[in-house]
């Protein structure tokens, strides 16, 4: 199993540009989520999904969109990038019947200039 | 809301020294508690967990005990190695929270172990 994979690893955007961060998992986990990691702040939840076709907002959803058309994929879209979105983004997945153990991808480092 | 507070870092130790990283939490109900480790350039890996009071999680020589009376989940290791150098995150999951599956993280503690 590849686990949770994310692409790209690094990305530089100009303010106002759009892009999609990709996340995929091959463990057949129902639950997937996106976090952002900022220095001194730990990780904060952006959006999550408990299954295909179902998404919901986390604690910092503004400026981000998600969709979940398949169990495997959970892309994160930035519609109009802002410097405040400079961060490291992590995708995670979890089996709903587990003891809440989440598996994280390697991350995408995004810089918005 | 829920919150997790970790000891300020960075922590610098010599090889074979004893490690403690303090973690305290605030949450309603009975959260599950976790320690995650992030090695340089990598994502987070689950290190250990405890799901109820007085449970002890352990893995790779690391241990942490869920203390409800002190709302703490301190990470300990008796003899650290250079390969333990990483960032350590304490986190909680509260099934009664507003966002299902949300992990609430502490700010992370950077550990550097010198030979």
- Which 3-state string (H, E, C) describes chain A? CCCEEEECCEEEECCCCCEEEEEEECCCCCEEEEEEECCCCCEEEEEEEEECCEEEECCCCCCEEECCCCCCECCEEECCCCHHHCEEEEEEEECCCCCCCCEECCCEEEEEC
Are A77 and A91 contacting, i.e. CB atoms less than 8 angstroms apart?
Answer: no
Are A110 and A91 contacting, i.e. CB atoms less than 8 angstroms apart?
Answer: no
Determine the Cα–Cα distance for residues A75 and A6; give it in Å rounded to an integer: 9
Q: Is A2 on the interface with B (CB under 8 A)?
A: no
Under an 8 A CB cutoff, do A100 and B101 touch? yes
Are B32 and B93 contacting, i.e. CB atoms less than 8 angstroms apart?
Answer: yes
The contacts of residue A62 (CB under 8 Å, 6+ apart) are none
pLDDT for res A21: 98
What are the tens digits of pLDDT across the range B25-35? 999 888 999 99
Q: Which of B32, B43, B47, B88 to mutate to test the interface with A (most CBs of A within 10 A)?
A: B43
Contact residues on chain B for A4, CB-CB shorter than 8 A: 43
Which candidate from A45, A90, A100 shows the least CB-CB separation from B32? A100
Question: At residue B9, does pLDDT exceed 90?
Answer: no
Determine the Cα–Cα distance for residues A12 and B107; give it in Å rounded to an integer: 25
Determine the Cα–Cα distance for residues B30 and B81; give it in Å rounded to an integer: 33
pLDDT for res B109: 94
- Mean pLDDT, chain A cut into blocks of 10 residues (113 residues total): 92 97 96 92 91 93 96 97 96 85 93 97
CB pairs under 8 A between A and B: 67
Contact residues on chain A for B107, CB-CB shorter than 8 A: 40-42
Determine the Cα–Cα distance for residues A44 and A33; give it in Å rounded to an integer: 10
What are the tens digits of pLDDT across the range B15-68? 999 999 999 999 988 899 999 999 988 889 999 999 999 999 999 999 999 999
Contact residues on chain A for B44, CB-CB shorter than 8 A: 43, 90, 92, 104
Q: How confident is the model at residue B13 (pLDDT cuts 50, 70, 90)?
A: very high
What are the tens digits of pLDDT across the range B70-110? 999 999 999 999 999 999 999 999 877 677 778 899 999 99
pLDDT for res B97: 67
């Amino acid at each position: 199993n590849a686990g949770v994979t994310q692409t790209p690893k690094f990305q530089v955007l100009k303010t106002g540009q759009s892009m999609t961060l990709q996340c995929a998992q091959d463990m057949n986990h129902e639950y997937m989520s996106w976090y952002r990691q900022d220095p001194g702040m730990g990780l904060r939840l952006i959006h999550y999904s408990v299954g295909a076709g179902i998404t919901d907002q986390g604690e910092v959803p503004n400026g981000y969109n998600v969709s979940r058309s398949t169990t495997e994929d959970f892309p994160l879209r930035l519609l109009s990038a802002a410097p405040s979105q400079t961060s490291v983004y992590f995708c995670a997945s979890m089996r709903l019947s587990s003891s809440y153990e989440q598996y994280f991808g390697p991350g995408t480092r995004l810089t918005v200039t | 809301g829920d919150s997790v507070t970790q000891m300020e870092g960075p922590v610098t130790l010599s090889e074979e020294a004893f490690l403690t990283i303090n973690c305290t939490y605030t949450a309603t109900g009975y959260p599950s508690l976790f320690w995650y480790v992030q090695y340089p350039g990598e994502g987070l890996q689950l290190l250990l967990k405890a799901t109820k009071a007085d449970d002890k999680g352990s893995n790779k020589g690391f241990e942490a005990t869920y203390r409800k009376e002190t709302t703490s989940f301190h990470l300990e290791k008796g003899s650290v190695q250079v390969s333990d150098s990483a960032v350590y995150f304490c986190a909680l999951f509260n099934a009664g929270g507003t966002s299902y599956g949300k992990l609430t993280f502490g700010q992370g503690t950077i550990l550097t172990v010198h030979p």
